[in-house]
Amino acid sequence: MSLWIVILVFIIVVTLLALYGTALSTARLFQPDCGVRSRCFRLCFLGVLAVFVIISVLLKVINAVVIFMHLAFFLLLASILSRLSRKLLCHQIPRAAGFTVAVILAAAVLSCGWYLDHSVVRTDYTVTVPGNAPELKILLFADVHLGSTFDHDGFADHLKSMEQVKPDLVVLAGDFVDDSSTKEGMVAACAALGRFPSRYGTFYVDGNHDKGYYGTVRGFSLAELTRELTDNGIHVLRDDTVTLGESYYLTGRKDLSEEKELHRGRKSPAELAADLAPGRVRLVIDHQPAGQALLAAAGFDLVMSGHTHGGQIFPFGYLGLLSGAIDQVYGHKIIDGTSFIVTSGISDWAIRFKTGTRSEYVVITVRGDGTGTGTSPAVSADTAGKAPAGASEQSSGGGV
């Protein structure tokens, strides 16, 4: 909770500074020597504040903050360049020119950010693991936040575009729904997801938003979400492990918020790995990319996560990394032989821009390196929604 208070205070301070800087730059277009106590500044501040309120009503407060933050940054940059030009080149850049360029640059960056947020691309990774396990193609996506960037019909459209992957396994790494999701949309989205074709089926883990932050405001509970998922053949994993044929284990973790926010606890990586026999490839779905050293020490081969939105707004997405709340913002890295892949997600939460990344779904090809005795290929042609061939639950507490 203390981290959220720090973040809230930071946002408030940044917003006030952005409004102040924008108002001051605007006022000095009309009165170059304008001070903060002048009538000109007060009028401009009221005008800027009115625009901020209008944008907040149309796009939510957080997006108004993002817009004015970028505008204030480029206005500050223009002011610094103007002063340097005057001192070093003895040339004064007209205020109107600097203001205009700053507005254009801010608009350009935000327009690109809007496009990168609302368009979804494919990202491919290849992960090599020890042994002779058969090749496994995984479709990974996360952070749908249904009802944010797109509704259930938009989600169904994205699923259709992802069908060309023809994956063996589909992984939904949390934050499927949000407080803005409707029950009708949730039900329809679960039905669409249940129809997605793959060999082993679709596996889901909870994210911190799936359980809801504000009680039953959204119109359905986590239990109702779970029921719709399972009724549509989607495997819900909560500290559970299933076997995929003779070559792979798949473990789905409870979300980190179970420990940090709800104080319910979840199994440690060592506990999850304790009953896993050697010789199989160990895959993990963990919504938040945290505790990676423990997962590597437990001997898992591949860990798939979301949560970070790839940083979303540069450079603020890396504050979680600096604070130690997460271990990775985006991409693929290897720790002691364990691969960690963090996706930026196919949507957003509340912010409608992505200036530090872009929306994506991920295709992971897992291949054995040919060492060891290996295992025999076991990928079957089961239809989506049915239990994987030879699947068995290794630990209790989940909805497989």
Nearest to 305 by CA among 324, 321, 322, 283: 283
Which residues have CB under 8 Å from 318's CB, separation 6+? Answer: 311, 329
pLDDT (tens digit, 9 = 90+) per residue, 84-116?
A: 988 888 877 888 999 999 999 999 999 999 999
* Whole-number pLDDT of residue 214: 55
**pLDDT level of residue 234 (50, 70, 90 thresholds):** very high
Predicted model pTM: 0.88
Which residue from 78, 143, 146 is spatially nearest to 106, judged by alpha carbons? 78
Residues facing residue 333 across a β-bridge? 340
Please give the single-letter amino acid code of residue 387.
A
Report the relative pairing of strands 338-342 and 331-335 from DSSP bridges.
antiparallel
User: What are the two backbone dihedrals, phi and then psi, of residue 314, each rounded to the nearest 5 degrees?
Assistant: -75, 135
Distances in whole angstroms, Cα of residue 160 to Cα of each of 156, 163, 184: 6, 5, 20
**Across the chain, what does the average pLDDT equal?**
89
Please, which pLDDT band fits residue 384 given cuts at 50, 70 and 90?
A: very low
Summarised one tens digit per residue, pLDDT across range 319-353 is 788 888 899 999 999 999 999 999 999 999 889 99
Does residue 133 surpass a pLDDT of 90? yes
Residues in the chain: 400
CATH 3.60.21.10 fits 120-368, yes or no: yes
Residue pair 29/75 in contact (Cβ under 8 Å)? The answer is no
pLDDT surpasses 70 at 186: yes
- The answer to whether residue 397 scores a pLDDT higher than 60 is no
Mean pLDDT of 141-145: 98
Q: What pLDDT band is residue 46 in, cutting at 50, 70 and 90?
A: very high
What three-state secondary structure class fits 198? coil
For residues 216 and 175, which has the higher predicted lDDT (pLDDT)? Answer: 175
Q: Where are the domains of the chain?
A: 2-116, 120-368
pLDDT given for residue 379 in this prediction? 31
- Has residue 31 got a pLDDT over 80? yes
